[in-house]
Amino acid sequence: MRSSLTLSRAFYRTSVTVFSGALIVQLFTAVTASASSQKIFLKGGSFSLRDESPRLLQLGQSLTGSAAAKTSLFVVQFDRALTEADRESLESRGFEVLRYLPDNAWVVRGTPKLIPSLQSLWSGDIGRMASVRPEWKLDPALGEVVSSGSSESFDLWLTAWDSKAGLEMRKMVERTADVRILSGGDRDIAVRAPLSVIQGWANSDSVEWIQELPIVVPLMINPLADGETAEQPPTKPALTGYESGTKLMGFEKAWERGFSGQGQGVAVADTGLDTGDTRSLHQDFSSSFTKGYVMGLGGDTWGDPQGHGTHVMGSIVGSGALSNGNFKGGAHGAMLHAEGMWSGIFNNIMPPSDYDQLMGTPYRAGARIHSNSWGSPRSLGDYDMNAARVDEFMWKNPDMLVIFAAGNSGVDADQNGRVDEGSISSPGTAKNVLTVGASENLLMEGGIQRPHGQLRDGDKKWGVEPLKSDTLSNNPAGIAAFSSRGPTKDGRLKPEIVAPGTNIVSTRSHYPDATTLWGAYDENYSYAGGTSMATPLTAGAAAVTREYLVKARGVNSPTAALIKGTLMHSSLDLFPGQYGDGAQRELPTPRPNVHEGYGRVDMDRLTSLSAETLLVDERTGVATGEAKSWDVSAPSGSTVRATLVWTDAPGAPSAGKALVNNLDLNVASSRTGLVRGSSDAVNNHEMVEMKRVSPGKYTVSVRGVNVPSGREGKQPFALLISVEKAVRR
């Protein structure tokens, strides 16, 4: 079996590629010049859709019998933004609307005999209609290998359009020779199969997408060479309060105000938890542990044979019982749902392909925060099936916030002294999740203290100053050099937030032969670093935020969008970063940017938001062309800040743009007429900050630009508006 694809990425730089074998056609057979400027955006490129409606109309009128009753897939593209009425119009004619494709198109399923019913729309709204091409269903990364005629077997992920198509797809796979099914859900199947079968599968109308099965790994960086161990000081370093990472995030102030995650359920999917036995469980989890779940492929325990999961979970709910309270988790009052994904078959974590199993199981048991310190660094920045599935789960369950690590692929490959962009791991590339990067902790002793240039491959990754001689946890104003940066391949801003992720002390697994990660602190705690460590600290912050919203702000069952937005709105901008505002400035612009997102989590700020700060958890939302607005009054010299976040419908894995429903945010002064706004058509979060404003009323509005796949035609959202008075110095 070939374990990975090493392919040319020329596919992404051209709009036409030729496949061989059964697909000896140009990728975009349906591409011709069009009078309309509307294009279809797929991962292989953008193109104008050739209108096949005359042929399809003729086909629909001529077919009879069983041929006329057989369903097929079509793309229907409009010449304008889409509305719920458009969807209803198609559905009233018997078509099933399956998936949105950018720009302004839907994939629909129906019989050819239904096509003549669309004639009345052609002269008006519908610009083009065409059959779905099998080539559109293949991940571009598979294209070159398929065309080579290789007989090798690969681990593949197939997904169907819906559960009905999923049954047909599974039957097709089961009938195919030399195929081994690894796992599956109602729409997804993970298989080991020869590449020769892919072309036939892509021709099936049941199949939406085929890609290589992602190999996911825990996102703790391994900074030392094989066989090396961290230097242990002769005596245990004196406690500074920064060991756990919570101090830099302002957790102590939140705890003083009575917010420690009480009443909140947090699920963590990782390598497992400690011994996997409640009778011998690490004492730091004695008050928080709720239930353990076996989730790994072929796994038989929720215990932690590796050590990563135990460390992660301690950063969220650890009580600090074995450290005299020194190493508490951020939400030590919350309840823990521990999901062990360790697979003895793969000697690695292997999550189920059915994300309703992975995330839905603890959700149905009461968890509303789901933390994931793992991902696939194979295709950086890609909105793949992993990302689409997480977005789908959150779209269906909008009150559960899923959090993912950004990854540890940050390097200075061009050797200009700045970490390169475009290195986010999937599923951190998903739109709706809160993706977390790592900032530096402040710990000068213990763990790993070597300069970047002396770490594993450090001369290649960070071999130019100021990165080369810098160390991992000496400046909390900085971003960890290894932390993955955005944007995603379709230009979206990731990560949205950062938290300390270097030399973090947390709970150590007592499972036999479990590793000590970055080195042991003592028999019960160890050091570690990576976006893996920043993510659970943020998950703890999310649990505390949810408690704050319920208890202090009276929000009943806050949505994930509001929790995410509150964390972003109150974060601390780290601009210009740890190297100052000179030639080696670390952060290119003030927030938001693709290095820190909106800034570092600040629980002191969050739990002390002014009572006048407006928190809107808009459950109905806006449709295409609709707007809602709110007025605030601001004194002279103050700052008006508005943050908009929404949980978007899942994007198509084949699409070149992940965003489906597009909203815009504007802030207008009634006195001066000044309008500040965002026409962002890429992200599902926006912020507008107006500093040193003139006194008067300010109107904040949210407008539906294009909502093709809303909830009953509308896109719900969360909005935060604050007026911060100028501070006299």
Q: What is the CATH number of the domain that holds 151?
A: 3.30.70
pLDDT per residue over 560-569, tens digit each? 999 999 999 9
Q: Where residue 67 falls among pLDDT bands split at 50, 70, 90?
A: confident
Task: Provide mean pLDDT across the span 686-712.
Answer: 96
CA distance 498 to 613: 23
Q: Do 80 and 197 share a domain, yes or no?
A: no
Q: Do 495 and 557 share a domain, yes or no?
A: yes
Task: Judge whether 74 lies within some domain.
Answer: yes
Best-predicted range by mean pLDDT (21-30, 119-128, 223-232): 223-232
CATH number of the structural domain spanning residue 638: 2.60.120.380
* ∠ CA 518-216-141, rounded to 5°: 135
Contact 200, 163 (CB under 8 A): no
Task: Provide mean pLDDT across the span 485-514.
Answer: 97
Q: Do 478 and 404 share a domain, yes or no?
A: yes
Structurally, how many domains does the chain consist of? 4
Task: Judge whether 102 lies within some domain.
Answer: yes
Task: Provide mean pLDDT across the span 178-185.
Answer: 89
Q: Do 303 and 324 share a domain, yes or no?
A: yes
Task: Judge whether 89 lies within some domain.
Answer: yes
CA distance 206 to 161: 6
Range of the domain at 698: 610-724
pTM for the whole thing?
Answer: 0.93
Q: Do 108 and 153 share a domain, yes or no?
A: no
Give me the percent of the chain exceeding a pLDDT of 90: 79
Strand partners, 641: 689, 722
Q: Where residue 1 falls among pLDDT bands split at 50, 70, 90?
A: very low
Q: Do 520 and 389 share a domain, yes or no?
A: yes
- Residues in the chain, how many? 729
Spatial CA neighbour of 270 closest among 246, 303, 298:
303
CATH number of the structural domain spanning residue 453: 3.40.50.200
Task: Judge whether 595 lies within some domain.
Answer: no
CATH number of the structural domain spanning residue 93: 3.30.70.80
Range of lowest pLDDT (59-73, 338-352, 550-564): 59-73
Q: Do 125 and 172 share a domain, yes or no?
A: no
Indicate whether 31 pLDDT > 60. no
Tokens of 703: 């407008």
* Location of structure tokens 């509150």: 566
pLDDT at residue 148, rounded to an integer:
65
Task: Judge whether 25 lies within some domain.
Answer: no
Task: Judge whether 23 lies within some domain.
Answer: no
pLDDT per residue over 374-386, tens digit each? 999 988 999 999 9
Indicate whether 12 pLDDT > 60. no
Nearby residues of 391 by Cβ (< 8 Å), 6 or more positions away: 430, 431, 432, 433, 648, 649, 650, 651, 658
Q: Do 221 and 206 share a domain, yes or no?
A: no
The overall average pLDDT reported for the chain is 91
Q: Do 88 and 145 share a domain, yes or no?
A: no
Task: Judge whether 336 lies within some domain.
Answer: yes
Q: Do 61 and 111 share a domain, yes or no?
A: yes
Task: Judge whether 582 lies within some domain.
Answer: no
Q: Do 201 and 221 share a domain, yes or no?
A: no
Domain final residue pick, 541, 569, 597: 569
Domain final residue pick, 132, 164, 197: 132
pLDDT at residue 22, rounded to an integer:
27
pLDDT per residue over 700-724, tens digit each? 999 999 999 999 999 999 999 999 9
Task: Provide mean pLDDT across the span 380-397.
Answer: 96
Which secondary-structure segment (H or E) carries 537? helix 531-551
Q: Do 530 and 628 share a domain, yes or no?
A: no
pLDDT at residue 728, rounded to an integer:
52
Domain final residue pick, 104, 132, 160: 132
